[in-house]
Amino acid sequence: MPSLSDRLKHLDAHSSVSNEFRVRTFQGAFLSITTLVVIVYLISTELSFNFTATTNNHVHVNATTPDGLEIEFDVTFPNIRCALLSVDADDPTGQKQSLHIDKTHRVFKHRLKDGKIFGRRSKFELGDTFHQVEHLEDMARTKGLKEEDPKEKREAKEEEEEEESSADDEEECGSCYGAEDEGECCNTCDDVKRAYSRKGWHLKDVHTVKQCKHVTSSKDEDGEGCNIHGIVALSTGGGNLHVTPGRGLEQMGTQKETISISDFIVEAFESFNVSHTVNKIRFGREIPGHVHQLDGREQVIEDTYGMYQYYIQVVPTLYRFLNGTEIQTNQYSVTEHLRHVQPASGRGLPGVFFFYEVSALHVEIEEYRKGYIHFFTSVCAVVGGVFTFMGMADRMIYSRTKLGSGGNDHLG
């Protein structure tokens, strides 16, 4: 009676062939080496594929509204002096947003010469931006300028020379010179001006204010550009963040003996070439693999008079890592439009506007790995498939070689 081991031998599906019945060929050796190389390569790719974290995206309607929207931006204007630039934010109705400013949320200006940053950066307050030509006309009237009349132009006021800034224009807790509320600090020239404006007081001589001594005038910045960067907190209800002409325009025209309102407006337009480079814009913390559409985007305005508008759709995003930690941030998509404006067109003033709207959709991105079971299954498929394919190729090549040589050795 056959033993158990003899019975099991009949189930052997991998019976070996004696060496005396094997035929070893050059093409067989080449295919064996190729088989080994292909298997090693495919296993390494499977190893990377199965153990590298990938992401799975889910999109759903956002049931809650985010608490706030933080935007970090860095924009370079190679043709506009820092003294002429101001930054502000409006809500969808055109009303000013109440911007929270602290040690984290601040905006800085940095002067540029020949495309290179020089000097020390300076902090400044948001606001006091102009959107319409009427705003410039009102400013011109407050300066004492007359309506356009080439024969009757008044003398412009002399502008005092100011020192070039050699340090940040902020101290730990500066004085508001009697206009402060309890516990309030005036760390910049803009802080002092705002405190006086709130009290309804007139600041007679700005140059006696310590915080204003290093403020650079636009005249000192002829031929310079400006880099503006910072972080501000905005409303989630939508609106816009814009960089437009500011109170620095008050200093324009003071170098000329006579100037009219029309001349003042034309000079303002010509001084505000909004060609720019968006170095960076973020609506929250960084997440892996996120591509920022506007980073490094350069826009050149050929005719000087332009209002560049970016329409940004902000999508709240939750990123969940393999270890379970989460980042709540925002992604965005953007379209852009150049609006041509002229001094007498009534279409507004030159500037750069970032219009944003928070989407009702919410994206969840979750990292995951396929794991060991999927990896070993793939390895078995790779090894078996490669061996089978190379074996078929070896037999086919061997058969054709034998037929071509006319031999009758049927071994192998």
Predicted confidence at residue 129, as pLDDT, reads 64
Predicted confidence at residue 319, as pLDDT, reads 93
Distances (CA, A) of 132 to 135, 241, 342: 6, 16, 11
Predicted confidence at residue 69, as pLDDT, reads 87
Predicted confidence at residue 365, as pLDDT, reads 92
Predicted confidence at residue 132, as pLDDT, reads 58
Predicted confidence at residue 105, as pLDDT, reads 76
Predicted confidence at residue 38, as pLDDT, reads 92
Cα–Cα distance for residue pair 94/233, rounded to 1 Å: 17
Q: Can you give the pTM of this predicted structure?
A: 0.63
> Are β-strands 239-245 and 85-90 bridged in parallel, bridged antiparallel, or unpaired?
antiparallel
Beta bridge pairs of residue 298: 277
Phi-psi region at 304: left, alpha or beta (left = phi > 0; alpha = psi -120 to 50)? left
Q: What is the DSSP letter of 376?
A: H
SS3 333: strand
SS3 330: strand
Cα–Cα distance for residue pair 293/61, rounded to 1 Å: 24
% of the chain surpassing 70 pLDDT: 67
Q: What is the mean pLDDT of each run of 10 residues along the chain (412 residues)?
A: 72 65 77 90 90 87 78 91 83 75 77 80 63 56 52 42 43 75 76 74 68 58 82 87 71 49 62 87 89 90 80 93 90 90 72 91 90 88 90 84 63 41
Task: Identify each DSSP E strand in 114-235 by its residue range.
Answer: 116-117, 122-124, 225-234
pLDDT tens per residue across span 119-156: 777 666 565 666 555 555 565 555 555 554 444 444 43
